[in-house]
Chains A and B, each alone.
Chain A
Amino acid sequence: MGEKKIMLGNAAIARGAYEAGVKVSAAYPGTPSTEISENMVQYPEIYAEWSPNEKVATEVAIGASFAGVRSMVSMKHVGVNVASDPLFTASYTGVKGGMVLVAADDPGMYSSQNEQDSRLVARTALIPVFEPSDSMEAKEFTKYAFECSEKYDTPVMIRTTTRLAHSQGVVELCDRVEVEDKPYERDIRKMVMMPGNAIPRHVFVEQRMKRMAEDGYDMPINRIEMNDTRIGVITSGIPYQYVKEAMPEASVLKLGMVNPLPRKLIEEFASKVEQVYVVEELEPHIETQVRAWGIDAKGKELLTVQGEYSANLLRERLLGIKVETDEPKKVPARPPILCPGCPHRSVFSVLNQLKIHAAGDIGCYTLGAVAPLSVIDTTVCMGSSISTLHGMEKAKGKDYIKNWVAVIGDSTFLHTGVNSLMNMVYNKGTGTVIILDNSTTGMTGHQDHAATGKTLMGEPTYAINIAGLCRAMGIESVHEIDAFDIEGLAKLIREEVAKDEISVIITKSPCVLLKTTKVTGVCHAVPEKCKKCGMCLKPGCPAIIRQPDGTILIDDTMCNGCGLCMKRCKFGAIVKEEF
């Protein structure tokens, strides 16, 4: 063991991959998994890429594994849905070089549209799941996952949660150990999954999972901490930390492998304690299996399937100790909002004025659903805006969507929106699609994508021309416009929604937080000209403060000088100071 360093859970996973000799990493950004790839690039021994979506990323990792090297693919929990097609069959093919998929769940939904539990996906896909509980384990479990991947001929899932991914803890670094590439042999019984080959592979997969469940009895990542035998807690991941904090006297079975479950070890532990509790966030994945084996374990009846746990929750629900704290004060909520100078705000303020509904998508711009912009009416998943709008049209006819558009970001468009647009073309849809092209993957913290001209590793590359791509599909009405040209945009949207044909409007203005975006000035209020009409407040810019007398003030430390408020003011009460 060497140098000690404080590291984010995600950075520790990347370090683990590095130390394990990984050579290829692929991912699509998604909170809370993004920093894994961002940390990969510091290791020149690893080729790391942003793929357009999680399915593609997973296939890249599978290909690398087939070629005989260790590979990693990482994604957020909903990304696993996108990746599930290759994943479920990679379970059958198994690996050549070790392959690890990191699935980052988001209990409490800090930055997600649902709260699904990736352990259940892995259980259905018949792949093992390892779950670390701090940064040090994140690194060590990753290395062990690669060993097991090759030993048991399977992809291995490392499951994390937001709290692990985005917590920092002390990690002891080790050196990288190079792993020799596995020699390539043509082996279609393993690598071509058609029925005749897949049938025997399924038999292998079932045997593999049985063998892993048995071997789990003495795997180093599963351990029993015997203490007071009145309470025995079965737990894993971050909840283990809450157990140690709330009930340090209890006996604990800490599971590092949560799928398949090591039944013998669990039964042995349960037989030594009076009352078994299962402490796991989200679904009762461990609990239902343990109870099915006839162990009288308590879990979700006292706890919850929703949100994050805490030590105080365990004290209260399992030990009956109410922790006395001050009442939280009643204060105005502060939900996330679009940044000052955000080009999405400008587009949404136009849609709001035109009273046009938007089928929305996943990104910062989902925030256009809430007041005061209140433009987005639907959001389901990545790429869904265009297909949802198309479904509405097919249900109710083309006139029904004359006051509707689909809005989707550039990165999300390339993720899966492009398929939906192909469908709209092919099936004669007439929808208007607005691609909010801010030249980045914004919400996850500014990652490059296939249209930015730069790779994850910082190299210049081809930039997919989004307008050209749309035209190549056969769409004739494709327009590019500055997001802050509010008059031009209003005219264009009015014209396009009225047409009986499909059209694409690409609003091209870079995210104001990008380092390459130059802030050109700052806006100031001119109080003596202000008529207190509130027009400037309508787009909901957080840099504008309404004064008690009804006039406004612009916070010059927050303003990014986009000038949207100035364009909305009819009285010249806002001016822009150019830099």
Chain B
Amino acid sequence: METKNIIIVGVGGQGTLLTSRILGGITTAAGYDVKLSEVHGMSQRGGSVVTYVRYGASVAEPIVEEGQADVLIAFERLEALRYAHFLKKDGVIIINDQRIDPITVVTGMAEYPEKIIENLSAKYKVIAVDAMEEAKKLGNPKVFNTVIIGIAARHMDFEYDKWVEVIRNTVPAKTVEMNLKAFETGYHLK
């Protein structure tokens, strides 16, 4: 099988690591060769972060390069725009429709771009969801990233029960039920 490439982008602190680890878990459980590349350290402090997930029969490099991603999962609108050129021509973007101003915007040095989702939709297949709103409805905004995984799962070929098992084994024990609810919400979101 040809190697599948996923990139997850967001703002440091949003939990991209947990998401990539869940994807790593599901692909490993399915018997694939898998590589993930993560960002630790300074960028985790509110900077732009990107993690890569690659799986297939045999994976060499651990990073996804420009023009190679099958799926781009963006936890924030501006970050979707920043990394859109990593997508293949027929690639899919899943966007958490949330705005977090970078410090350059807060200080007035730059403007936050308008109509990001509309512009990206002209070129790519875009699925935009306010996952934060969904997570708030569940009572814990922090699990918005698991709502996103639920959406992504619908576009991937792994069984629902497998996802549940991997989430159970990956997230902190105290948050299992909340995360499973969030996954279910995302999975069934219209």
Contacts and interface: CB of A to CB of B under 8 A. Distances in A.
A328 B66 CA distance: 9
A168 B78 contact: no
A541 B62 CA distance: 34
Interface string A282-308: 000000000000000000000000000
B126 interface: no
Contacts of B87: 326
Contacts of A44: none
A558 interface: yes
B84 A168 contact: no
B84 A334 contact: no
Contact of B40 (A111, A238, A334): A111
A48 interface: no
* Listed residue (A166, A310, A541) with the most chain B CB atoms within 10 angstroms of its CB: A166
B101 interface: yes
Interface string B72-88: 00000011011011010
A173 interface: no
Interface stretch (B110-118, B149-157, B176-184): B110-118
A242 B63 CA distance: 9
Interface string A529-560: 00000000100111011100000000101100
B34 A6 contact: yes
Contacts of A111: 40-43
Contact of A557 (B47, B103, B141): B141
Contacts of B24: 6, 168
Interface in A27-44: 31-32, 34-35
A443 B39 CA distance: 13
A310 B63 contact: yes
Contacts of B95: none
A312 interface: yes
B40 A332 contact: no
A546 B78 contact: no
A186 to B, nearest CB: 44
A110 B63 contact: no
B161 interface: no
Contacts of A323: 65-67
Contacts of B101: 542, 545-546
Given A6-B36, A328-B85, A334-B79, A546 B45 contact: no
A213 to B, nearest CB: 29
A336 B78 contact: no
A80 B110 CA distance: 39
B15 interface: no
Interface string B31-59: 00111111111111111100000000001
B35 A540 contact: no
A334 B78 contact: yes
B63 A163 contact: yes
B104 interface: yes
Given A244-B60, A336-B12, A546-B106, A34 B40 contact: yes
B110 A332 contact: yes
Interface in A1-44: 4-6, 8, 31-32, 34-35
A334 B60 contact: no
Interface residues of A, number: 59
B11 interface: yes
Nearest to A315: B65
Interface string A316-357: 000000011111110111111111000000000000000000
Contacts of A311: 60-61, 65
B158 to A, nearest CB: 15
Nearest to A324: B67
A339 B46 contact: yes
A371 interface: yes
Nearest to A371: B107
A126 to B, nearest CB: 31
B40 A32 contact: yes
A169 interface: yes
A31 B40 contact: yes
A100 B136 CA distance: 48
Contacts of A327: 85
A359 interface: no
B71 interface: no
Given A241-B61, A312-B66, A540 B81 contact: no
A227 interface: no
B147 interface: no
A329 B34 contact: no
Contact of B46 (A337, A443, A545): A337
A246 to B, nearest CB: 9
Contacts of B46: 334, 336-339, 542
A32 B39 CA distance: 9
Nearest to A313: B65
Contact of A443 (B41, B85, B136): B41
Contact of B61 (A4, A166, A245, A546): A245
A237 to B, nearest CB: 12
Contact of A326 (B61, B85, B107): B85
A555 B13 CA distance: 15
A445 interface: yes
Contacts of B107: 371-372, 537, 540
B101 to A, nearest CB: 5
Contact of A335 (B78, B100, B103): B103
Contacts of B105: 332, 546
Nearest to B53: A168
25 contacts: A6-B34, A31-B40, A31-B41, A32-B41, A167-B36, A168-B37, A169-B59, A170-B33, A238-B62, A311-B61, A323-B67, A325-B67, A325-B85, A328-B82, A332-B110, A334-B48, A334-B82, A334-B104, A335-B103, A336-B12, A371-B103, A445-B44, A546-B101, A555-B100, A558-B100
Given A163-B37, A310-B65, A334-B48, 17 more contacts: A168-B62, A242-B61, A245-B61, A312-B66, A329-B84, A332-B78, A332-B105, A334-B11, A334-B47, A334-B79, A336-B45, A337-B46, A337-B103, A443-B42, A542-B100, A545-B101, A545-B106
Interface of B: 11-13, 21, 24-25, 28, 33-48, 59-63, 65-67, 78-79, 81-82, 84-85, 87, 99-113, 132, 136, 141
